[in-house]
Amino acid sequence: MIFTKGGAVMIIDKMDYIFAIAKEQNLTRAAKRLFVAQSTLTMYLNRVEAELGVKLFDRSKTPILPTPAGALCIEELKKIRQIETRLSAKLQQMAHPEETLNVGIGLMHSAAWMPQLLPLFHEIYPDVRINLIEQGDELLLQSLRADDADVVIGGMPVGTQDVSEKLALEQLLLIVPRKFHLAPPWVYAGNSYKNPYEITPQQLQGLPLIMPSSANDLGGITNQALEHFDIQPKSVITVSSMQTAAMLVSQNMGYLFTSPVFLSMQAEQLGSKIVYCTMQGIPDTRRIVAVYNPDTRKKEMIRQFLKLLRTVMFQDQPGIFPLTD
């Protein structure tokens, strides 16, 4: 497979197009998200695939899903975006050293909480520039230690020592394909991440599992749950993207342990092919914490930011509770 220079440049230059298609899994919705005509997006994708000589998305089925080549491109583009974000943050910090607060936060939590929090923060600090470093939880502490972020906020498994402030505890949920027949049909009408159906560990024995990678703290938490209940999956598919994991569940490939915050944003895409479940006795092992350098000059600003975060993170969000000592 030969990637031409022209195709590679086109992908990097318009990587948001690729991200939008991957997220929406539909060209019409992706075009609306990007504020471009669908024909523009389709022509772009056709041209890129022609330049690269490989299909990035399988458009023969609904929803549109990345091909293996597409999945590889998406992962590499995410790395490029992180480099861009890191460079931009450092340049902005050099230009305005006292006016920028660099916040590292998990992708799911940023989308769920930042739209409500940032207007409140700017009422108090109208001249402070906020730079959101949105990345997987596994990279957050790296950003802090590299001085790319002033504070990082995300999911950390129990035992993590680098904790400045405890914020919340997330109750794990499961999503299971309806075709596994773990819930009776009468459950479907009212079933949602807000109203999950309770199953037993025995019902999961011998079923295929979708496993977040070890780089994601949900992967470690899933392993803890399997060991706690002595569940033996029939097979395991390991993925790095939670969006991909959820779509694999909707395609009847396995069940998934995940968080209510993630499910609140994925409900529309998941549709009616899955059942939201809970299981009595799931270990409460996912903590949302904030970590920052105690000697930072921005400590007071960070504490105010976290105080505001606490006011928004529990609003109409089932399955997440205040975490205290």
Beta strands 151-157 and 286-292: pairing type?
antiparallel
Confidence bin at 4 (pLDDT 50/70/90): very low
Angle in degrees, 0-180, between the axes of helices 15-24 and 5-13, rounded to the nearest 10: 70
Has residue 91 been placed in a domain? no
Residues 64 and 112 in one domain: no
Residues 235 and 301 in one domain: no
Residues 162 and 303 in one domain: yes
Edge-to-edge strands of the sheet including 256-258?
A: 197-199, 274-279, 173-177, 256-258
Condensed to tens digits (0 to 9), the pLDDT of residues 257-280 reads: 988 878 877 777 777 889 999 887
Domain count, the chain: 3
Q: What is the CATH number of the domain that holds 38?
A: 1.10.10.10
Residues 155 and 205 in one domain: no
Condensed to tens digits (0 to 9), the pLDDT of residues 214-251 reads: 666 677 778 888 888 889 999 999 887 788 888 899 88
Confidence bin at 212 (pLDDT 50/70/90): confident
Residues 72 and 141 in one domain: no
Condensed to tens digits (0 to 9), the pLDDT of residues 97-137 reads: 567 899 998 877 888 889 989 998 888 888 888 999 887 76
Per-residue confidence (pLDDT) for residue 214, from 0 to 100: 67
| Arithmetic mean of pLDDT, 54-68 | 91
Has residue 14 been placed in a domain? yes
Has residue 312 been placed in a domain? yes
Confidence bin at 58 (pLDDT 50/70/90): very high
Residue 255 has pLDDT above 90, yes or no: yes
Residues 249 and 188 in one domain: yes
Residues 226 and 258 in one domain: yes
Has residue 83 been placed in a domain? no
Among residues 76, 104, 119, which one ends one of the domains?
A: 76
Residues 162 and 299 in one domain: yes
Residues 145 and 200 in one domain: no
Condensed to tens digits (0 to 9), the pLDDT of residues 166-189 reads: 888 777 889 999 999 999 999 888
Residues 102 and 161 in one domain: yes
Per-residue confidence (pLDDT) for residue 138, from 0 to 100: 66
Residues 40 and 112 in one domain: no
Structure tokens at 153: 């906020």
Q: Mark 173-188 as b/e (b = at least 16 C-beta within 10 Å).
A: bbbbbbebebbeeebe
Residues 176 and 265 in one domain: yes
Nearest alpha-carbon partner for 73 in 91, 58, 54, 47: 54
Has residue 89 been placed in a domain? no
Task: Pick the more confident residue, 65 or 265.
Answer: 65
What domain range includes position 131?
96-169+288-322
Report the range out of 2-11, 51-60, 95-104, 274-283 with the highest average pLDDT: 51-60
What phi and psi, each to the nearest 5 degrees, are found at residue 275?
Answer: -120, 130
Has residue 270 been placed in a domain? yes
Per-residue confidence (pLDDT) for residue 32, from 0 to 100: 85
Condensed to tens digits (0 to 9), the pLDDT of residues 286-319 reads: 778 888 888 888 888 888 899 888 888 876 666 7
Has residue 85 been placed in a domain? no
Has residue 64 been placed in a domain? yes
Q: What is the CATH number of the domain that holds 148?
A: 3.40.190.10
Please provide the average confidence, as pLDDT, over all residues in the chain: 82
Task: Pick the more confident residue, 157 or 265.
Answer: 265
